[in-house]
Amino acid sequence: MNLKSGLFFAFFATLTATTFGQSKWFVAANAGAVISKTSTSDTLANPFTTRNRGGIYGYLQGTYDLSKASSLNFKVGYLGTGFRINNDTMPANGMIKQPVNMLSTSLGISFRQRFSTGSFITENFGIALNQQLGGNLTDTIYNQSKNARYRIVHDNIVKTFPAFYLGFGMGGNTEEGHRYEFTVSYQQPFATARQMRVEYGEFYNQNFPLTFRGGNLQVGFTFYFNFGALEKSQDYFY
């Protein structure tokens, strides 16, 4: 890049931040905890039970304020879901913990209602596209490496699938014009992410189906950096 191009780029970036960043454009960091499990519609054979699995997520988010009460949001980042299956008759090594790591992108809209000068509550909804990271299309996982009592066979893994999400939050504004928000949201895919079966008994001659749709509950914190406030902060130092 030559000097003229560099100066033009710097001028354009400054103009963009000054023109569009007064109060409408935000870049946000969103992170928190995830809870997920297998489908509640599955009928598990005795003595197997399904358990919640904890994970984490982290998104980079871009937000544009359509008005004082609504925003358009785009997010991309890591989503760590999964499930746990337990054989309740086994005193040790009775659980299989299966992580399902995803690259998640989403587009949605949020609505804000203020209940004081600097505080608000939000409702948000939108669509997401999840891409599973790693994993074979078919796979077999044993509860332990030696003398395994049961195993999970992945018959089919859908690598990419769409989902919808709903959520709400509570937050406020800083004196510099930034925003912060505590959020809770639920994401549910439109299709099944993994079809599996649990095999157990002598020579694994007994089995039952297991379904992982990829639904998950996300609890986290978001901080929105206002482009206009960042520009004012740079002007202060210069």
pLDDT tens digits in sequence order for the chain, 238 residues long: 444 444 444 444 444 444 444 568 899 999 999 999 998 788 899 999 999 999 999 999 999 999 989 999 999 999 999 999 999 999 889 999 999 999 999 999 999 999 887 899 999 999 999 999 887 777 899 999 999 999 999 887 888 989 999 999 999 998 888 999 999 999 999 988 888 999 999 999 999 999 998 899 999 999 999 877 655 544 433 3
Residue 8 counted as domain residue: no
Cβ neighbors of 16 (< 8 A, separation 6 or more) are none
Q: Is residue 4 part of a domain?
A: no
What's the domain range around 135? 26-237
- Does 89 map to a domain? yes
Instruction: Confirm whether 15 is domain-assigned.
Output: no
| 3-state DSSP of the chain | CCHHHHHHHHHHHHHHHHHHCCCCEEEEEEEEEEEECCCCCCCCCCCEEEECEEEEEEEEEEEEEEECCEEEEEEEEEEEEEEEEEECCCCCCCEEEEEEEEEEEEEEEEEEEECCCCEEEEEEEEEEEEEECCCCCCEEEECCCCCCCEEEEEEEECCEEEEEEEEEEEEEECCCCCEEEEEEEEEEECCCCEEEEEEECHHHCEEEEEEECCCEEEEEEEEEEEHHHHHHHHHHHC
In a domain, 10, yes or no: no
Within a domain: 9? no
Q: Is residue 171 part of a domain?
A: yes
- Confirm whether 30 is domain-assigned: yes
CATH code: domain of residue 100 = 2.40.160.20
Number of domains composing the chain: 1
pTM given for the model: 0.83
